[in-house]
């Protein structure tokens, strides 16, 4: 098959969950098919590095493009312009004329199937598409915005978020209906998308993990060490850690005064660093390898209140044989069983109690970690996930040919 893959926001370095999922799927597809990747990159990113890592692809084009960040004049301008369009601001700001032109040229040369990777790729696609198209939905985007709205205490910002999540829901439903197939990353997401996209063909595909890279590494566990990993310039991650430090960590320290927390991930904000210093929490910023930090920890925490899709971070922790404590949002959509593969907790008291119990019970930590490792090793390698994606591509191209 000739596959065209369209992605906004880059693929390299692999420092975000969405990039990991896309990168490994492309790598698997390129072993057996002719794959062209059209993407963008920011000023600090390395398109040559991407080309070197995806040598199996037939062609890779990466266009310089800086996505406007919240709080900047460019973002404010995008927000104002989006009000007079059908696009929510998150999609308006990701329209890239150069990318649109590249997509049209690639389609004119002939491809068998086109993949719009994340909803933000959709405004850069021609609709109706001249070839079968897959919309790859790593998240239910409107649900992220709705959850932001639900936890926002400020009235004016809450009103703005209400407008944004409703616009996102409308556009997301339209995009699902336009695509031949929409691939969600969990059954939970598939059901949510189906509710707002009547008549669309929406299917679920598994999330994967690199089980050779993430594995129990024999590092000596520090019995009272906690860890969280994730891109800290992603607001749901920042919200999770600020919430954890304010509401959960003090409760843990009432019983375990020497407990430590390492927050591992790129671009922490000044707000987060100040709060962490006050709470005596280590914030690393960008690291070359998260595994040493995860390996040393006794418990991996996922206190998310906002999010969508599935959390690759949990699969990585399970692959390393770690005991995990997560909220319902944190574990949402993953094929993990509460109390078998992880410990679920919602309220601050419940979350703190789960951590304390695991720190005091190494046998329980070991049992959870072993069960999690077995799960991902047997069913969720990237090779298996890539094969699933390939079957959906083959099915829609065959149907279109008929």
Concatenating the DSSP letter of every residue in 327-339 gives -HHHHTTSS--BT
CB 178 within 8 A of CB 197: no
Q: Cα–Cα distance between 65 and 99 in angstroms, integer? A: 10
Structure confidence at residue 274 as a pLDDT band (50, 70, 90) = very high
Q: Given this model, what pLDDT does residue 401 score?
A: 64
Residue 311: what pLDDT? 74
Say if residue 319 is in the same domain as residue 385: no
Query: Is 219 domain-assigned?
Result: no
How crowded is residue 213: how many other Cβ atoms within 10 Å of its Cβ? 12
Structure tokens that stand for 387 in this block: 């094969």
Note whether 12 and 109 are same-domain residues: yes
Mean pLDDT value of segment 237-264: 97
pLDDT at position 104: 97
Tell me, yes or no, whether 365 and 390 share the same domain.
no
> Quick one: residue 321, left, alpha or beta (phi over 0 = left, psi -120 to 50 = alpha)?
left
CATH number of domain containing 241 = 3.40.50.2000
User: Do 306 and 392 belong to one domain?
Assistant: no
CA dihedral of 376, 382, 383, 384, whole degrees rounded to 10 = 50
Query: What are the residue ranges of helices labelled H in 179-269?
Result: 187-196, 235-243, 249-255
What is the C-alpha separation between 301 and 323, in angstroms, rounded? Answer: 9
Question: What is the span of the domain harbouring residue 263?
Answer: 225-379
Distance in angstroms (rounded) separating the CA atoms of residues 235 and 285 = 15
Phi, psi of 271 (to 5 degrees): -60, -45
What does pLDDT average to over the chain?
93
Q: For residue 121, tell me if it sits in a domain.
A: yes
In a shared domain, residues 41 and 67: yes
Q: How many domains does the chain have?
A: 2
Tell me the C-alpha distance between 196 and 167, whole Å: 12
Closest CA to 253 of 279, 220, 284: 279
Q: Are residues 73 and 116 in the same domain?
A: yes
Within-domain flag for 325: yes
Region of residue 323 (phi > 0: left; psi between -120 and 50: alpha; otherwise: beta): beta
Say if residue 229 is in the same domain as residue 318. Answer: yes
pLDDT digits (tens, 9 = 90+) for 284-299: 999 999 999 999 999 9
Helix (H) or strand (E) holding 357: helix 348-359
- With a CB cutoff of 8 Å and minimum separation 6, the contacts of 97 are none
List the structure tokens of 364. Answer: 């329980």
Residue-level pLDDT at 292: 95
Cα 254 to the center of its chain, rounded Å: 33
Domain shared by 9 and 60, yes or no? yes
Pick left, alpha or beta for residue 248 (phi over 0 → left; psi -120 to 50 → alpha; otherwise beta): alpha
Report yes or no on 216 lying in a domain. Answer: no
Rounded to whole angstroms, the Cα distance separating 256 from 203 reads 45
Rounded-to-integer distance, Cα 381 and Cα 330, Å = 21
Pair 188, 281 in one domain: no
Residues 266 and 139 in one domain: no
Q: Is 112 domain-assigned? A: yes
Is the entire prediction scored with pTM above 0.85? no
250 located within any domain: yes
In a domain, 386, yes or no: yes
Q: Is residue 279 part of a domain?
A: yes
| 64 and 137 both lie in a single domain | yes
**Arithmetic mean of pLDDT, 6-19:** 88
**Cβ-contact 72, 93 below 8 angstroms:** no
Tell me the average pLDDT across 228-257. 95
Question: pLDDT tens digits for 60-91?
Answer: 999 999 888 877 888 888 888 888 888 999 99
pLDDT digits (tens, 9 = 90+) for 13-64: 887 878 989 999 999 999 999 999 999 999 888 889 999 999 999 999 999 9
135 in the same domain as 229: no
């Amino acid at each position: 098959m000739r596959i065209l893959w369209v992605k906004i926001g880059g693929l390299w370095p692999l420092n975000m969950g969405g990039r990991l999922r896309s990168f490994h799927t492309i790598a698997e597809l390129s072993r057996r098919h002719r794959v062209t990747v059209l993407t963008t990159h920011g000023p600090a990113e390395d398109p040559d590095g991407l080309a070197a890592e995806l040598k199996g692809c037939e062609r890779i084009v990466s266009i310089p493009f800086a996505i406007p960040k919240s709080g900047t004049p460019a973002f404010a301008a995008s927000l104002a312009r989006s009000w007079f369009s059908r696009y929510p601001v998150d999609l308006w700001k990701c329209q890239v004329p150069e990318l649109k032109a590249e997509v049209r040229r690639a389609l004119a040369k002939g491809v068998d199937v086109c993949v719009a990777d994340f909803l933000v790729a959709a405004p850069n696609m021609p609709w109706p598409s001249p070839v079968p198209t897959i919309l790859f939905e790593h998240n239910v985007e409107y649900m992220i915005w709705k959850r932001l709205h639900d936890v926002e205490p400020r009235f004016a910002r809450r009103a703005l978020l209400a407008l944004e999540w409703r616009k996102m829901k409308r556009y997301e439903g339209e995009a699902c209906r336009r695509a031949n197939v929409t691939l969600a990353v969990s059954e939970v997401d598939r059901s949510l998308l189906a509710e707002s996209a009547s008549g669309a063909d929406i299917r679920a595909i598994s999330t994967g993990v690199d089980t050779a890279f993430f594995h129990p590494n024999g590092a000596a566990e520090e019995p009272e060490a906690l860890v969280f990993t994730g891109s800290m310039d992603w607001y749901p991650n920042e919200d999770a850690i600020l919430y954890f430090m304010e509401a959960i960590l003090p409760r843990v320290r009432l019983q375990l005064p020497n407990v430590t927390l390492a927050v591992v991930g790129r671009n922490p904000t000044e707000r987060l660093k100040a709060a962490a210093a006050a709470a005596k929490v280590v914030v690393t910023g960008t690291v070359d390898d998260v595994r040493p930090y995860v390996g040393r920890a006794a418990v991996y925490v996922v206190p998310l209140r906002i999010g969508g899709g599935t959390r690759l971070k949990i699969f990585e922790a399970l692959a390393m044989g770690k005991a995990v404590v997560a909220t319902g949002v944190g574990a949402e959509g993953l094929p993990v069983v509460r109390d078998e593969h992880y410990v679920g907790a919602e309220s601050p008291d419940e979350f703190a109690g789960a951590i304390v119990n695991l720190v005091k019970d190494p046998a329980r930590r070991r049992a959870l970690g072993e069960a999690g490792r077995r799960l991902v090793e047997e069913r969720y390698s990237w090779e298996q996930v890539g094969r699933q994606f390939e079957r959906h591509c083959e099915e829609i191209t065959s149907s279109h040919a008929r």
